[in-house]
Every structure is written in C-alpha cells, then in structure tokens.
Amino acid sequence: MARKKAQSALEYMMTYGWAILIIVIVAAVLYSLGIFSPSSSAGTTSSGFAPFVVLGQECNANGLYIELGNNAGNTVTFYNVTVTTSTGASVFSNFVNLSTPITVVNGGNAVLTISGLTCSGVGSRYSASVSIGYKIQTSLGTESAVSSGTVSGTSVVGTIIATGASSSGFNTTTFSISTSQSNQIILITANGYPVTSPPTPTVTVDGNPATELKLAFAKQGSSAGPAASSIFYYVAPSSGSNTISVADTGYKNGGSGSDIWPINFAVTLVGASSSGVSSSYAVFNPGSPQSMTVKTTVPNEIVFSTALLNLGSAGVPADFAWTTNASNSFTLINTSKTGTGILSSDAYVVIGAPGTYSIGFTYSAGDTGNSSMVVATFQPAAP
C-alpha cells in the first residue's frame, strides 16, 4: 500500500512538474520577445479631457505633443497647461503659460506642445496627468474652465501630429502656419478648378521655394469639368511662424466674392523625415473606382493624401471619406468646398507594417465629376 502511495505521489509530481516546466519555457520565450516589457507596448492611451477628445499624441526629445479636438460646442481658447509625471518617489510638475493662446473653433483641432516632458529615444515609456486651462465663448460671455486627463504611451518614431491652416484665394494666396521645432516638414496642397492644361501653381515659404512632389490633372470631359491637385513640401529650419504664398497659376477664378475656386491648405508633420520621400498620383472619371495603390518600405511610414472633386453644383454636400485597407484608419484634417461644387480634402494615416496598400475615397452623394488625387509618403525620423 505504501509503495502504491509513493508511486502515485511520484507520478503526481512528475505530471505537474512537466506542466510547470512548460509554463516556465513559454514565459521565457514571451519575455525574450518583449511581451512583458512595458517599453515594448506600442500605441498610446488617454482618458478624460472632456469636453475635448485626444486625436493623437507624440513624445520625443523635444517634448510631449497632444492633439485635441474641440467638442465643446463653442469656440475655445487654450491659455495654460500643467503636466505632472511621477517615477517612484520623484514627482515632476511643469506649469506652462502658452506664449500665444490657441483658439479653436467648435469641431476644429489644435496641438499643444509641452516642452517640459521629453522622451529620450524610441521605446521610452511615458505617462502624465495633464490639466488644460481654457476659455469658452457662451451665451453668457467668456467663461474660464479646466479640462483634465491622462496620457500614456511608448515613444516611437513615425507618429504624426498634424496641425494646419487653410485658405482659398486666386493668383497669390498668403497664409501662415507655425512649427514647434527645427527642421519640421510643412506640406502645402494647391488644388482647384484648372483652366490651363495642366495648371502650374508655385509655392514659397518665407520667400523660399517649396518642392513640388506631384500634380494630378483630370482633363475636361464631355459631361464633367476638370480637376487638379498637388502637394508641395518645405523643411522649416527653425520653430515659429512661417508665411506661405501660393501662386495659383492656371486655376479658375469664379469672379465674385466667395466664388473663388482654388483651395490651398497647409499642415506640419512632427516625427517625419525629409529623406526617402515618395509620391504618386491618380485621376478618375465619373463613376470610376477612386482608389490607387501605395507602397511603404519601413514601419510607421506616414501617408498624406489630398484630392479634389469637381462636382459641378454648389448645392452638393461636402460629404467625403478616405478609405484604406491598412489596419489604421485615415485621420481627416480638412474638407473644403468652394465655387460651384469644387470639393477638396486632406488626410493622413500612419501605416505600421511595410507593404502595398489601397488608398482611396468615397463620396456618398455620388461621383458626378472628374477627380484627382495625390499621395505622398514620408519615412519616420531617426531616433
């Protein structure tokens, strides 16, 4: 009897011993792959910040950037930021009065730059509590309030933070955009209703020529008007305000008040490199599939897209959506409509894995005119 009990105990120990050994081996393999390493956790998280929504965040050696969308129902002005982080018993707190308050209309977005919190390199883990002082316009006047929340993530290259200013005009259109750090990329789109074949827009930033990447030109059809879109880029040598001038040569002027048909837009990229830039374009006739393929070659490549539709009627809605088969979705930056149904849109997506992807757009009211699209890809900046 004692022999049988000992044998049963030995079999019991061997069975569970093998199970424990297998668990240890699996855990060791997962650890070697970085599954249990906090710094290997890709992506970002956020909570709070009502009545605003966090559209994006990036932490690098220059600071923490938080992109907020305004869902407050009225225009707001951000005027200070307090960020608090803790590591063990060490607490860092930084209060920043914004040198230039940031005003954002309802439905708009803006990027807050917090220079006190920095991430030294790729894989740096960060977590912070953030309080934002703002003023909001209400029926009772201007009221002060505070929005609080938390952000966390891992510093990775190739995360885009986009902020822009759009302007429509004829011949020379001048507007400005701010950069938060040196050697930041500014993208400019010069889209519109062309009257020459093709149009020849030019762009300068602070008097210096911007580089044209591509221009797409859809010719006049028997039942559809022409459309043209283009992307230019410029590397701003220092932070601050930059003046953009667009000469819309070859685009149609509607000839009265708001009926001016070129649509120009600018956006800045944080975390993108000016090396390895590529671009492509496509033009579409009414009813054709509005999509093209784009190839990325490195992880977290940034794809910026612009398109123009000539819809032929001022009464059609500005209802436009970007599509891709990549795992991430497009972030819409701007959609503008002017003239007799001249619709322009700009968006971006960060694609994690290198490969060939479909990039396109849909228009729910139906495609009633010619359209053009230009896509530019930017590789992430070196850590």
Residue 283 has pLDDT above 60, yes or no: yes
Token digits of residue 258: 């708001």
pLDDT tens for 23-53 read 656 555 443 333 333 333 346 788 999 999 9
Mean pLDDT of 233-242: 88
- Model pLDDT for residues 74-127, shown as the tens digit of each residue: 889 998 888 888 544 444 556 667 767 888 888 877 778 776 677 755 566 788
pLDDT on residue 14 = 62
Q: Where do the structural domains in the chain lie, given as residue ranges?
A: 43-154, 162-378
Give yes or no for residue 134 having a pLDDT over 90.
yes
Task: Measure the N-to-C terminal CA separation of the chain; round to a whole number of Å.
Answer: 69
- Rg (C-alpha) for the chain, rounded Å, is 26
Q: Per mean pLDDT, which of 190-204, 293-307, 355-369 is the most reliable?
A: 293-307
- Please state which CATH class domain 43-154 belongs to: mainly beta
For residue 75, give the amino acid letter.
T
Q: Rounded CA gap, 303 and 373, in Å?
A: 13
- 229 in Cβ contact with 280 (< 8 Å): no
Query: Rounded to whole angstroms, how far apart are CA atoms 11 and 222?
Result: 85
Please give the residue that has the higher pLDDT: either 98 or 147.
147
Q: Count of H helices and E strands in the chain?
A: 1, 25
Q: Minimum mean pLDDT among 118-127, 211-220, 228-237, 243-252: which range?
A: 118-127
Q: In this structure, are residues 16 and 8 in contact, taking their beta carbons and an 8 Å threshold?
A: no
* Closest-CA residue to 219 (of 201, 200, 202, 194): 194
Q: For 172-197, give one letter per residue: b (16+ CB within 10 A) or e.
A: ebebebbbbbeebbbbbbbbbbbeee
